[in-house]
Structure 1
Amino acid sequence: MILPGLKRSLLSLSPISKPVIRPFWHWLNHVWNEYDTKRIEEVGPNRACAEWLLKCGAQVKFKNWGSYVVDFNKMPPGSFEAFKIEEIKAENACIMARGFEYFNGLKDVKKIKFINCELIDDTSLAKLSYLRGSLKELQLVFLPSVTDVGISYLYLLENLNDLYINYMPKVQDYELAKKLLQEKLPKCNVEFLQKADEIKT
């Protein structure tokens, strides 16, 4: 994810300079998504996961802590173990599969929204199984790297109550995917749309 001011500066570069930009941001995205076991030992899984998400442009909501936190420097103070991640919202965020390892160990995440995140792929969705014990609501909107294989991993989320999927351009058979999701998750309300309709809030 590129900050607005920096993006304008990058666009002003000469054509000769532009080819260098994509490799740099590709490298930086990998750095931000690096799984740091030492950090987890220092501050616990919830704090470490929140730091990863916020660095990558996502938002987190902690249990018993008001609204979503969007600023890395405004996370709840005090004991790290006192605050558990309850909701996650990632829109235009640069999160990717290697960072999803941070979900391992979280026990309180109930709601997730992934919207227009181009780096989320099939492996990313497979790793959502770390949250299968707590996750109740999941919204996926325009994840251009996810295929039918990635959708199939959602069968593992047996505690889902609400699953909303909208506009997944690499999914080949929407009707079959929707049918299978409804069969595998009989207690879940499944909406699977083919077009980029209005995003459900």
Structure 2
Amino acid sequence: MLLFARFVQPLLSIQKPSSGGYRHFWAWLNAVFNKVDYERIKDVGPDRAASEWLLRCGARVRYQGLDRWQQDYNGLPTGPLGKYKIQAIDATDSCIMHRGFEYLDGLEHVQEIKLCKCIYIEDACLEQLSKTVNLQQTLLRMEIISCGNVTDRGIIALNKLKSLEYLSLSNLPGLKDKETTLEILRTARPSLKLELDLD
């Protein structure tokens, strides 16, 4: 009992930081995770560097020619540089944010992207993604679900993705002029299959 009183009780009396302090810490840490390391891209190639960024932030990737998803950072495949090409990205519940999207610039085989419950995804992310020349040519399928910071501006920017065949939009409270936004998309991309659950 004396040991408990001497060592454990003082620990129990330590006050926890305010919830604002926790939020600030996590926002800072997530910003660190999203910082682009240009030297790393040069050293290991765009696919490996992007894989490291995505997994570090809690997303997962699937490589060309493989069926399984890679989500363990420590289990990233090794081998000759450039052997593993990212074909699909699932960023569900991840902390990816705008500052990390430059990692997408060198990717040449991405066909699918899923953004679901991503608290840091905002219009600037979708605008940058849409300006990425390689993604304009290769991206076929995209899902944006429960990303509260996405507005009409971000969705309209997707009309630059020339190869996009399928777009699923669900639970996006930031869309305020849905009809106009969807009409702009349909006019720009008549062959695009839209799946909507925005009520």
State the TM-score bracket (shorter-chain normalisation).
0.7 to 0.9
Following the alignment from structure 1 to structure 2, what is the Cα–Cα distance between the partners of residues 55 and 102?
A: 13
Deviations 1:96-132 (A, max 9, x none): 0110110001110001111010100001001112111
Indicate the SS of the match to 2:191: coil
Amino acid at match of 1:28: L
Match of 2:152 among 148, 151, 164: 148
Q: 1:20 maps to what in 2?
A: 21
Give the letter for the 1:143 counterpart.
C
Letter in 2 for 1:65: L
Segments of structure 2 that go 5 or more residues without pairing to the other structure are 1-13
Provide the secondary structure at the position in 2 that maps to 1:53: helix
Matched-pair contact (CA < 8 Å) for 1:63–1:86: yes
Corresponding residue number in structure 2 for 1:198: none
1:178 and 1:192 in contact (8 A); partners too: no
Moved over 2 A (4+): 13-19
CA distance in 2 between partners of 1:100 and 1:59 (Å): 15
> Identity, % of aligned pairs?
38
Residue 15 of structure 1 and its aligned partner are, at CA, apart by: 5.6
How far off is 1:194 after superposition?
A: 1.1
Stretches of structure 1 that go unaligned for 5 or more consecutive residues are: 1-12, 196-201
Structure 1 match to 2:79 = 78
**Amino acid paired to 1:175:** E
Q: What is the RMSD of the two structures over their aligned residues, measured on CA atoms?
A: 1.3
SS in 1 for 2:67: strand
CA distance in 2, matches of 1:146, 1:18: 25
Number of residues paired by the alignment? Answer: 183
Q: TM-score, normalised by structure 1?
A: 0.87
Report the Cα offset of residue 16 of structure 1: 4.8
3-state secondary structure, aligned to 1:132: helix
Alignment map for 1:126-145 (pairs within 5 Å):
126-129=127-130, 130=132, 131-145=135-149
Which residue in the other structure is 1:90 paired with?
91
Q: How does 1:93-108 map to 2 (within 5 A)?
A: 93-108=94-109
Asked if 1:164 corresponds to 2:168, the answer is yes
Q: What do the CA deviations read for 1:167-198 (whole angstroms, capped 9, x no partner)?
A: 11111011221121111111210123213xxx
Distance apart, 1:19 and its partner CA: 3.1
Summarize deviations over 1:142-182 as a string: whole Å, max 9, x none: 11111111111101011101011111111101122112111
Aligned to 1:66, the other structure's residue is in SS state coil
Q: For 2:17 and 2:78, how far apart are their aligned partners in 1?
A: 46
Preserved CA contact (<8 Å) 1:174 1:192: no
Give the superposition deviation at 1:66: 3.0
CA 1:146–1:126: 2 relative to 1, 3 Å: same
TM-score normalised by structure 2 residue count: 0.88
CA drift of 1:17 comes to 4.0
Q: Distance in 2 between matches of 1:18 and 1:174?
A: 35
Residue in structure 2 matched with residue 44 of structure 1 by the alignment: 45
What's the secondary structure of 1:158's corresponding residue? coil
Q: Rg larger in 1 or in 2?
A: 2
Following superposition, the deviation at residue 14 of structure 1 comes to: 4.2
